[in-house]
A and B are shown apart, each in its own frame.
Chain A
Amino acid sequence: MATNQEHVKLLGATGSPFVCRVQIALKLKGIEYEFLEENLATKSELLLKYNPVHKKVPVFVHNDKPISESLVILEYIDEVWKQNPILPTDPHQRALARFWSKFIDDKIVSASSKSVFTLDEKEREKNVEETTEALQFLQNELKGKYFGGEEFNFVDIAAVFVAFWIPLVQDIIGLQLFTAEKFPKLYNWSQEFLDHPVVKETIPPREPLFAFFKGRYESLLAASK
């Protein structure tokens, strides 16, 4: 629908897993948009105007109306552009999709990051344990090719963090957090998902992102000395 395609903007940062989620959904639905790269160290006036509450990316702007928080944005996109739906129609299935996406945000994102970006061994151990338990729950939820079944859906998109970002950051310190040996089913899913043409074309280039995170870890080390 022509009117829905007008004035679609995404304020983001290449390398953000939350921005990536939105980009995957937009690509899946074939929605054209203008991408505005934000420098998170010096936030633009536009970002501060569109997301005064959290001052974060992604911010999705449709006909000058901004929406923040990646999972909220995904629901909006799915409601406005009906092709290639990412949420099921059945209310209970929808509740489950929302549950697992929230689970990833609440239980996996922070704990997995803290497993790497800490110099305190006790804290690392605690977060590794938490992440491992959470990944186990997530893996048990996988019943088909994707969390969405034959096609990827809301949960798969939310889980791009697990598929791409966790393996990347764990490599900085050689941490065996999410591996094929520990989570064979989930690992297979991640490879399938990352290989899907829509996802493949959307995830950021690995090398520069790895360098960025490695730099962050090294700053952490330097600061402690």
Chain B
Amino acid sequence: MADEVILLDYWVSPFGMRVRIALAEKGIKHEYREEDLRNKSPLLLQMNPVHKKIPVLIHNGKSICESLIAVQYIDEVWNEKSPLLPSDPYQRSQARFWADYVDKKIYEVGRNLWTKKGEEQEAAKKEFIEALKLLEQELGDKTYFGGDKIGFVDVALIPFYTWFKGYETFGNINVEKECPKFIAWAKRCMQVESISKSLPDQDKVYGFIVEITKKFGLE
């Protein structure tokens, strides 16, 4: 039976990027469908009635929502190559913990960097750098969070790198200066084919952020 795999996504979403990377890493043939978030498709509303958000992975008609859940699903179903989660249960728990940390810290705090001003922005800057430093510590001397090859945490985290130009410009921070190891890791990731072909250009993402800030008067 031929697998039918569809990804409902939005080009600039770091959550969508995670699923794209996983699909690419496993070499899974799929149909990519770009959603207009101001005019969501009936399929999106049907497949994710609870959150009505992207990404949604649809495998043979069944939907899987929430990016990290979709990545784990992909890892479990297409398990013959490129494992994203380690095989040891303790290592798996640590990968899940750090991916959860990325969810809790990087997206929200990063967003505050370019949407807030004054004290709130200052607090966000501090929190953001602290979070990156903690991740640097966790990475240690490893090439990737997954070790010699990219793993669950790399997939969870690298998409946010495409938003860094926006964070840095609007948030007035210099990540490379504060967290050089983090940037070195990110650049290594961008050399990995499944990652580089799944992520949009940083300048395009930056252009998107500029547009949004203008539109909503956030500048």
Chain B CB within 10 A, most for which of A65, A75, A91: A91
Contact status B89-A80, CB under 8 Å: yes
Query: A23 at the A/B interface (Cβ < 8 Å)?
Result: no
Please give, as numbers and ranges, the residues of chain B lying within 8 Å of A92 by CB-CB distance.
59, 62, 64, 73
Given contacts A53-B134, A67-B97, A68-B97, are A76 and B89 in contact (CB under 8 A)? yes
- Closest-CB distance, B58 to chain A (whole angstroms): 11
Query: A35 at the A/B interface (Cβ < 8 Å)?
Result: no
- Closest-CB distance, A166 to chain B (whole angstroms): 19
Interface residues of A in 63-94 (CB under 8 A from B): 65, 67-69, 72-73, 75-76, 79-80, 91-92, 94
Q: CA of A132 to CA of B122 in the docked complex: distance in angstroms? A: 35
Contact status B50-A103, CB under 8 Å: yes
Contact status B65-A99, CB under 8 Å: yes
Chain B residues with a Cβ closer than 8 Å to the other chain, count: 22
Please give, as numbers and ranges, the residues of chain B lying within 8 Å of A103 by CB-CB distance.
50
Contact status A72-B100, CB under 8 Å: yes
Given contacts A91-B76, A92-B62, A103-B50, are A72 and B69 in contact (CB under 8 A)? no
Query: A98 at the A/B interface (Cβ < 8 Å)?
Result: yes
Contact status B93-A95, CB under 8 Å: no
Given contacts A67-B97, A72-B97, are A98 and B72 in contact (CB under 8 A)? yes
Chain A residues within CB distance 8 Å of chain B: 53, 62, 65, 67-69, 72-73, 75-76, 79-80, 91-92, 94-95, 98-99, 102-103, 137
Q: Which 5 A-B pairs have the closest CB atoms?
A: A79-B89, A76-B93, A91-B76, A95-B73, A95-B64
